[in-house]
């Protein structure tokens, strides 16, 4: 028998996978806690949407802006 077969399933999970699992749990809790609808005004438009969706959208906009303005490293 290999030593990897003797290890429990919890021991086979890498630290990176533990962090990903923890972030996922926190994200699910965040969505569950922020289901209330909020109104956002932008110029002449008023948008009514759940808070988590507004924040997720703003995160995506910021991420895209960061990717578009990132300088490429020379190899």
- Tell me the residue range of the domain where 65 lies: 3-69
**Residue 42 has which token pair?**
């932008």
**Alpha carbons within 13 A on the beta-carbon side of 2:** 3
pLDDT at 73 over 70: no
Would you say residue 55 lies in a domain?
A: yes
Would you say residue 75 lies in a domain?
A: no
β strands within 1-75, DSSP E: 37-42, 45-50
pLDDT at 2 over 70: no
Would you say residue 29 lies in a domain?
A: yes
pLDDT at 1 over 90: no
Q: How confident is the model at residue 5 (pLDDT cuts 50, 70, 90)?
A: low
Would you say residue 26 lies in a domain?
A: yes
pTM for the model: 0.55
Are 19 and 26 within 8 A, CB to CB?
Answer: no
pLDDT at 13 over 90: no
Would you say residue 37 lies in a domain?
A: yes
Total structural domains in the chain? 1
Distance of alpha carbon 71 from alpha carbon 62, whole angstroms? 16
pLDDT at 48 over 70: yes
Distance of alpha carbon 36 from alpha carbon 50, whole angstroms? 5
């Amino acid at each position: 028998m290999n030593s990897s077969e003797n290890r429990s399933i919890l021991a086979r999970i890498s630290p990176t996978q533990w962090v990903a699992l923890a972030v996922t749990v926190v994200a699910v809790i965040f969505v569950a806690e922020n289901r209330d609808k909020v109104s956002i005004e932008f110029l002449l438009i008023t948008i009514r949407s759940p808070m988590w969706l507004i924040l997720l959208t703003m995160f995506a906009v910021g991420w895209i802006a960061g990717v578009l303005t990132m300088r490429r490293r020379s190899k």
